[in-house]
Chains A and B, each alone.
Chain A
Amino acid sequence: MKYLLLKHYRGAPTPPNDVPADQWAPGEWDAHCRYMDDLAAKLQRSGEFVASHALSAEGMWVRSDGSGRPPLTDGPFAETKDLIAGFMLIDVDSHERAVEVACELSSAPGAGGEPIHEWLELRPVMGEAPNCPD
């Protein structure tokens, strides 16, 4: 079963190690990135990795205003908006395993080389309807 792990720039509850990345000591950002890459590689070796991407903090709202009219846009995002920083898609055997992977991702190091223990959103991906429903 597949799960999506969502990391937030803004909008998640405050983590224990809550120091913004621009205040970290030199090298700590690199250590953070390396941890994420290593985790992705590890999940690939375990046969559980599907995809992972970071998202730019830039972006805008877009909507159609009817055919033949220019699209409506609104942006950059207001400071109050929930902002997703990135996602990882995994394919695991159980919900427990998905939680375990999320905890590992949440433990990426931040300020002082200590785990951030950041809050991640864990969302099950809709599956196919089973063949034997009744």
Chain B
Amino acid sequence: MAVDPETIRELSPKVLAILVGRGADFSAAEDAVQEAVIRALSSWESEAPSNPKAWLITVAWRVFVDMARADVARRDREERFTIEPTGGRSSERDDTLQLYFLCAHPDLTPSSAVALTLRAVGGLTTSQIASAYMVPESTMAQRISRAKRTVSLVGLRQPGDLSTVMRTLYLVFNEGHSGEIDLVAEAIRLTRELHTLTDDPEAGGLLALMLLHHARRNSRTTADGAIVPLAEQDRGSWDTELIAEGVRVLQDALARDQLGEYQVQAAIAALHADARTFAETDWTQIVEWYDELLRFGDTPIVRLNRAVAVGETHGPLQGLACLAEIDPGVPRYEAVAAHLHEKMGEVETAARLYASAARTATSLAERDHMTRQAARLNAALRDMERST
């Protein structure tokens, strides 16, 4: 059997986790695994070993020990030579989880944690990650090697922080750049694994949130990338299997009675997914979940989304009243204000706000959407003028 790159990609993070679990320095272990992968690619060409994982572990460990010896000789620091597993023998499950924690360590900047996670946990190549984030490969290589050094200094004795792991995976999911790698699918794959490893209700909440959003991917934009508002989305194109899975994962998480912000966000996404038409949306419950979300973090973004939901439940006037309590400088404030004013029938104000929202938009798709809305209302205003 010839080499299967997918197999290697799936195995290399596990091998790395095992090396780190044995007490190997993270940075050196990662180098050793890369070296073992290169050797595998050439020596498996004709025939892969019967147990590829064991092969990779053996070779990577040998490379690591050789490198450590050379390192010791160079630096004359003998204590680094004696690498013994510390404490009890950890399980492979613990090793893999430890790898997640290391790669999203709080000492790393968000973009470094993202890069290192995709590389060391996701098994992607530097070139693939660089192209996904549209930076030169040399820059991404430096970002990853700096992150590796930081993590090496942290060592193994630091307790993991699940919240930074989840934030990192959410970033991967949410940035969803286009490229040869489907980062959304990658984020879901890794979150699924994290959920299995931890059995934490918030990891379940995050997985449910991703599945429920991903289920609606085809309806959120047109073929050429234009934003389709929720009210106009083709609900028939929603992926009912993903929705069912998302709801199931969410229900299991909620049953544990340890509410967290990802579970709350997933609950809101589930209510949207559950409505057969926009008119059937249970906005009252959505407002209640936003109130819950505010308890986990009172941010202007949550308040903006809550104002939209209040506008649907109690009418645009109430929505605008909620808006009055938010700083108008917050991103998307004008977009929400424009939407509510349009519902009030205040077309001129809405058109002006949409145009202003287009100028302050931070993404191309959003800017285009706001421009289209402004143009639509301005055309309606001209028609009204002509007919009077």
Q: Are B136 and A49 in contact (CB under 8 A)?
A: yes
Q: Counting chain B CB atoms within 10 Å of each CB, which of A124, A127, A134 scores highest?
A: A134
Q: Counting chain A CB atoms within 10 Å of each CB, which of B178, B227, B361, B362 scores highest?
A: B362
Q: Which of A46, A50, A126, A132 contacts B174 (CB 8 A)?
A: A132
Of chain A, the residue at the smallest CB distance from B178 is: A128
Q: What per-residue 1/0 map shows which CB atoms of A83-125 lie under 8 Å from chain B?
A: 0000000011100000000000000000000000000000010
Q: Are A91 and B362 in contact (CB under 8 A)?
A: no
Q: Which of B140, B363, B367 contacts A47 (CB 8 A)?
A: B140
Residues of B within 8 A of A91 (CB): 111, 133, 135, 139
Of chain A, the residue at the smallest CB distance from B209 is: A132
Q: Which of B112, B142, B366, B367 contacts A44 (CB 8 A)?
A: B142
Residues of B within 8 A of A132 (CB): 174, 209, 213, 265, 269
Interface size on B, residues (CB 8 A): 40
Q: What per-residue 1/0 map shows which CB atoms of A14-56 lie under 8 Å from chain B?
A: 0000000000000000000000000000001111111100000
Residues of A within 8 A of B269 (CB): 132
Q: From DSSP, what is the main secondary structure of chain B's interface residues?
A: helix
Q: Tell me whether B175 is interfacial, beta carbon within 8 Å.
A: yes
Q: Are A126 and B136 in contact (CB under 8 A)?
A: no
Q: Tell me whether A62 is interfacial, beta carbon within 8 Å.
A: no
Task: Write the nearest CB–CB distance from A96 to chain B, whole angstroms.
Answer: 12
Q: Tell me whether A67 is interfacial, beta carbon within 8 Å.
A: no
Q: Are B363 and A130 in contact (CB under 8 A)?
A: yes
Residues of B within 8 A of A48 (CB): 139, 143
Q: From DSSP, what is the main secondary structure of chain A's interface residues?
A: loop
Q: Which of B140, B143, B209, B366 contacts A129 (CB 8 A)?
A: B366
Q: Tell me whether B106 is interfacial, beta carbon within 8 Å.
A: no
Residues of A within 8 A of B173 (CB): 131
Q: Are A129 and B227 in contact (CB under 8 A)?
A: yes
- Given that A49-B136, A49-B139, A134-B230 are contacting pairs, would A129 and B363 also be in contact in the complex, using a CB cutoff of 8 Å? yes
Task: Write the nearest CB–CB distance from A8 to chain B, whole angstroms.
Answer: 22
Q: What per-residue 1/0 map shows which CB atoms of B209-222 lie under 8 Å from chain A?
A: 10001000000100
- Given that A44-B138, A91-B111, A93-B109 are contacting pairs, would A127 and B176 also be in contact in the complex, using a CB cutoff of 8 Å? no
- A-B contacts, 8 of them at CB < 8 A, read A46-B142, A46-B146, A47-B115, A93-B109, A128-B175, A128-B177, A131-B213, A132-B269
Known: A48-B143, A127-B364. 15 other contacts (CB 8 A): A44-B139, A46-B142, A47-B115, A47-B139, A47-B142, A47-B146, A49-B135, A50-B136, A126-B361, A126-B364, A128-B175, A128-B177, A132-B174, A132-B213, A132-B269
